[in-house]
Amino acid sequence: MTSRSGTVAEPVEASEPGAHGYRRPLTRADHVAMPNAQVMTYRQALNDTLRQEMIRDDKVFLIGEEIGVFEGSYKITAGLLAEFGPERVRDTPIAEEGFTGAAIGAAMLGYRPVVEIMTINFTLKAIDQIVNHAAKIHSMFGGQSSVPLVLRTPGGGGQQLAATHSQNLEVWYAHIPGLKVVAPSSPADAKALLLAAIRDNDPVIFLENLALYNTKGPVPDGDEAAEIGRAAVVRAGTDVTIVSYSRGVLTALEVAERFEAEGVSIEVVDLRSLRPLDRRSICASVMRTGRAVVFEDDWLTYGIGAELSATIAEGAFDYLDAPVRRVAAAEVPLPYAKPLELAAMPDADDLARAVRELLQDTRFRK
């Protein structure tokens, strides 16, 4: 499935390993079943994967601000300068448009650059290069040139970084044909999707939520890449579907655990890929449960959740027992003060309240 074909992926069941490795965040039960898996942080999974791909392919190089001597603002590139040298771990000036453009040129010449932009908020400085060049070169040149580039960037609130450093702008890039956009929620998916992104011949925006860097989970050895464009059912259920991505998946799983004690079975779908979007798997889950809540860290209006709600309405309307519910952030610039920041961000209580209201809503029940 590619951004060029428009093909929609087939549904993925909760326990299906598949040809490309596990298509869902791995649990402790998975770790027991896979003795070669190692428990590590999301941060370490990214670091290990970058190193693995740089060893495998000498066309892979890293470029960005403070990724070499300083080892990255979030230490994702720790140790890589010492191992691979300054030709392949390239520190840049504070000039996002310039070094993103340089990476695009290198990609057109056969290299596979991995660009690190310190925060998704700073991609605004390079948005012309991303949207008008990286995304369009393959199409505008009739397929004669490709841009196998990965742009890694973190985002999200909760770190008291204030309004201009805490945004989730993924919907901007998910809107653009020619780009692929992925958002892993677990260390295992961070590895599998980064492998896939680096090996893909299209430009990939690789989203990392700041709140996930220290989360831990089992990560399998080897180099099995995920399939970009595949969602995963990370928890099977029968009563309600929660659809989310990135940090929101962890919140959804927490809420599902709460409701299990009450006898309510919640299915959690992890999008993993925002573009291409696995519409079939989303609708297949809602067809099983009859109810859906969409949960996102971003603002409600014109967001990823709006696209998901439309997808469900178009593809699974006859199966719904109630209207789709959406849970999202308050539509304000995120405050710096911690109590106000937390109040503006959607949390497990907000999601649980929406699930409870949905269970009581039977307007569509036949």
96 in active site: yes
- Residue 303 phi, psi (nearest 5): -90, -175
Plot region of 75 (φ>0 → left; ψ -120 to 50 → alpha; else → beta) = left
pLDDT digits (tens, 9 = 90+) for 241-300: 999 999 999 999 999 999 999 999 999 999 999 999 999 999 999 999 999 999 999 999
**pLDDT at residue 328, as a whole number:** 97
Maximum CA extent, the chain: 65
pLDDT at 364 (0 to 100): 77
pLDDT at 2: 33
Catalytic residue status for 175? no
**Paired tokens of 215:** 């989360």
Would you state the pLDDT for residue 233?
A: 95
Q: What local confidence, expressed as pLDDT, does residue 366 receive?
A: 61
Contact 37, 220 (CB under 8 A): yes
Residue 346 Cα distances to 135, 300, 342, angstroms: 31, 11, 8
Please name the CATH architecture into which domain 28-219 falls.
3-Layer(aba) Sandwich (3.40)
* Identified catalytic residue from 31, 133, 138, 165: 165
Residue 250's pLDDT is what? Answer: 97
Q: Which fold has domain 232-360?
A: Rossmann fold (3.40.50)
Q: CB neighbours of 285 closer than 8 A, spacing ≥ 6?
A: 11, 233, 241, 243, 267, 269, 292
CB-CB contact of 121 with 169 (8 Å) = yes
Q: Domain spans of the chain?
A: 28-219, 232-360
Catalytic residue, candidates 71, 96, 116, 296: 96
Tell me whether domains 28-219 and 232-360 share a fold: yes
**Ranges under pLDDT 50 in the chain:** 1-28, 30-32
| pTM (predicted TM-score) | 0.90
